[in-house]
Amino acid sequence: MIHQERARLAVLGAGHVGPVIARLAIKAGYPVAIATSGDPADIALITELVIPGAQPRWAPDAVADADIVVLAIPLHRFGDVDPGLLAGKLVVDAMNYWPASDGVLKAFEDGASSEIVARRLSGSAVVKALNHIGYHDLEDRTRTAGAPDRRAVGVAGDDPAAVAAMAGLVDRIGYDPVRLGSLRAGRALQPGGPVFGVTLTLPEFERAIREEARSLA
Ligand SMILES: NC(=O)c1ccc[n+]([C@@H]2O[C@H](COP(=O)([O-])OP(=O)(O)OC[C@H]3O[C@@H](n4cnc5c(N)ncnc54)[C@H](OP(=O)(O)O)[C@@H]3O)[C@@H](O)[C@H]2O)c1
Atom of ligand 1 nearest to the CA of 132: 6
Atom of ligand 1 nearest to the CA of 75: 45
Closest to 142 in 3D by CA, of 53, 47, 21, 48: 21
Say what the pTM is. Answer: 0.97
Q: Which residue's alpha carbon is nearest to atom 7 within ligand 1?
A: 131
- The pLDDT tens digits for 145-196 are 999 999 999 999 999 999 999 999 999 999 999 999 999 999 999 999 999 9
Q: How much is the pLDDT for 217?
A: 66
| 144: Cβ contacts below 8 Å, ≥ 6 apart | 150, 174
- Largest pairwise CA distance in the chain: 51
Q: Beta strand 32-35 with 176-180: parallel, antiparallel or unpaired?
A: unpaired
The reply to whether ligand 1 has any atom less than 6 angstroms from the CB of 35 is yes
Q: Which residue's alpha carbon is nearest to atom 17 within ligand 1?
A: 15
Label residues 131-149 b or e (16+ Cβ within 10 Å = b): bbbbbeebbebbeeeeeee
User: What 3-state DSSP class applies to 92?
Assistant: strand
